[in-house]
Homo-oligomer: A and B are copies of this chain.
Amino acid sequence: MRPSVLGSAMRPSASPLVSPWRFVSLADGSSLDPLQAVIESGLAEGLTVGAAVRLTGSWVASPGAAQSHELQVREVKVLGSSDAKTFPIQKKYQTPEYLRTLPHLRPRTPLNALLLRLRSEAVTSLTQFFARQDFVQTHPPIITSSDCEGAGEVFTLNPANDMAGQPGKESADSQDSFFRSKKYLTVSTQLHLEALAQSVGNVWTLSPVFRAEQSDTSRHLSEFYMLEAEMSFVDDMNSVMDLAEDMMRQLGTDLYQSDTVKSLLTRTPHFGQDLAPAGEVDRRWQGLMQPDWPRITYTEAIDILKQHEDKFEHKPVWGAGLQSEHEKFIASTVGKDRPVFVTNYPRDIKAFYMRPTRGPGSEDPSRVTVDCFDLLVPELCEIAGGSMREHQLEPLLDIMTRQGIIKSPSETASEDDSGNGLQWYADLRRWGCPPHGGFGLGFDRLLSYLSGVQTVRDIVSFPRWYGRCDC
């Protein structure tokens, strides 16, 4: 806050109008707490809720108890007037559900401005972290040729003008004409990142990804940002987990002392149930900054869960995925406040590109696992996931053929115009592919967790989910 401030919103106080002074609350998005300005009533015309103003005056010690200083105003200029009677964000408590119906205005509330700053500071911290580690930041494509990466339902796209001439009806031809075949919005940049990692070694991206799932939960959006990193010449999955852990710990350390996070943790009880309690959110930040996050295998996790079987609605069974209740139990009992890596899940419930586990403990043919991990945090469950990638050609072609992803192991990408578009991914192994692995982190989920909002819809400015895409 600055003494002579440009404010984006002013709210008249409840002081009686007979007073020769008006007290107005001024906000410019830099703080949860407003700045108090004291203005002669005669100057206060147009200072309605929501107005954009320029006030000039003196920054003086305040006689009031609520603030140390206040702005004594000698000049008022209304830069953008506001019809306070119709302004949808009145000066009172508004529920997150209501604010969500106004995504174009919601950012103006102090909490939402703070969340915008949190996102920005997180991106800067991550950019610096990866630059120091000599990781190359990349822009993998959003429009992709494959719908079968196994990460969920996809959106397809058409050029709009194809439809203009054929209202209500269109042929497969017209749909596919722009790119000559059907194209999709990416569900994960991983496969393309692997190609880029073969160029410069270690790469990362913070990219929008898309899922056309008809889910209506606090953890899912149709459009969200994913942070993905890929390391080359790495054979031990611990290196990939080290990277994920170091990155998140650095993020915690960078931001915990910032004004933004301090505001988040010292906010007034005003926010009620909209945010997790400040003490709880503080524990999340503290957990992020702790060293030595536990790493247990899926098999160990199942053993732990079985000892507490009666606590769960779904019985823990080796071979089945972990339910939310299982993940929560593991996160809170094994991790305490620290995130927990659960590694080496059964092959049959994981993606085709993951490398099968070898070595001691992996001999049982009825319990084939892959070198992968999920990173679990209390309350929110999975926040990141990664794996070693199958880097050998024959085993990859084998599983891709068995799963119907490619037609036959013999084709190469250049012969595969008619395929579903993933021969190129197998081809990466044909000409010199080192062992490699990486992870993806749900960036919006992480910010939800670290801010304490109740749903990922409240951390994204213009959230899109099944049935909703406003503005």
Contact = CB atoms under 8 A, between A and B. Distances in A.
Given A169-B169, A431-B105, A196 B143 contact: no
A391 interface: yes
Contacts of A469: 141, 143-145, 179, 183
Contacts of A424: 103-104, 470-471
A315 interface: no
A30 B79 contact: no
A82 interface: yes
Contacts of A196: 107, 116, 461
B160 A223 contact: no
Interface string A109-132: 000110011011001100110010
A457 B57 CA distance: 54
Interface string A1-38: 00000101100000000000000000011100000000
A256 interface: no
Contacts of A470: 145, 424
A169 B100 CA distance: 35
A30 to B, nearest CB: 7
Interface stretch (A151-159, A269-277, A278-286, A368-376): A151-159
A467 interface: yes
Interface in A406-437: 412-414, 421, 424-425, 427-435
Interface string A161-199: 101000111111000001110011100000010011011
A461 B192 contact: yes
Contact of A155 (B120, B159, B425): B159
B208 A144 contact: no
A302 to B, nearest CB: 32
B145 A120 contact: no
Interface stretch (A46-54, A61-69, A288-296, A347-355): A46-54
A297 interface: no
Given A29-B201, A201-B28, A119 B139 contact: yes
B431 A87 contact: yes
Stoichiometry, as copies per complex, reads 2
Interface in A85-108: 86-89, 101-105, 107-108
Interface residues of A, number: 115
A414 to B, nearest CB: 7
A213 to B, nearest CB: 9
Contacts of A155: 157-160, 178
B142 A198 contact: no
Nearest to A184: B160
A433 B80 contact: yes
A219 interface: no
B161 A153 contact: yes
Contact of A200 (B79, B82, B113, B428): B113
A138 B123 CA distance: 9
A464 interface: yes
A71 interface: no
B145 A471 contact: yes
Contacts of A461: 138-141, 192, 195-196
Nearest to A172: B168
A59 interface: no
A435 B79 contact: yes
A46 to B, nearest CB: 10
Contact of A160 (B29, B105, B153): B153
A83 interface: yes
Which of A108, A154, A155, A425 has most chain B Cβ within 10 Å?
A155
Contacts of A172: 167-168
A429 B198 CA distance: 49
A52 B123 contact: no
Across the A-B interface, the 7 shortest Cβ-Cβ residue pairs: A107-B199, A159-B212, A29-B200, A52-B434, A82-B432, A80-B433, A50-B431
Given A52-B233, A54-B233, A119-B139, 10 more contacts: A104-B413, A105-B195, A107-B199, A119-B138, A127-B127, A142-B210, A142-B223, A145-B469, A160-B212, A179-B467
11 contacts: A28-B201, A107-B195, A120-B135, A120-B137, A139-B461, A141-B469, A158-B158, A159-B212, A160-B184, A180-B467, A208-B208
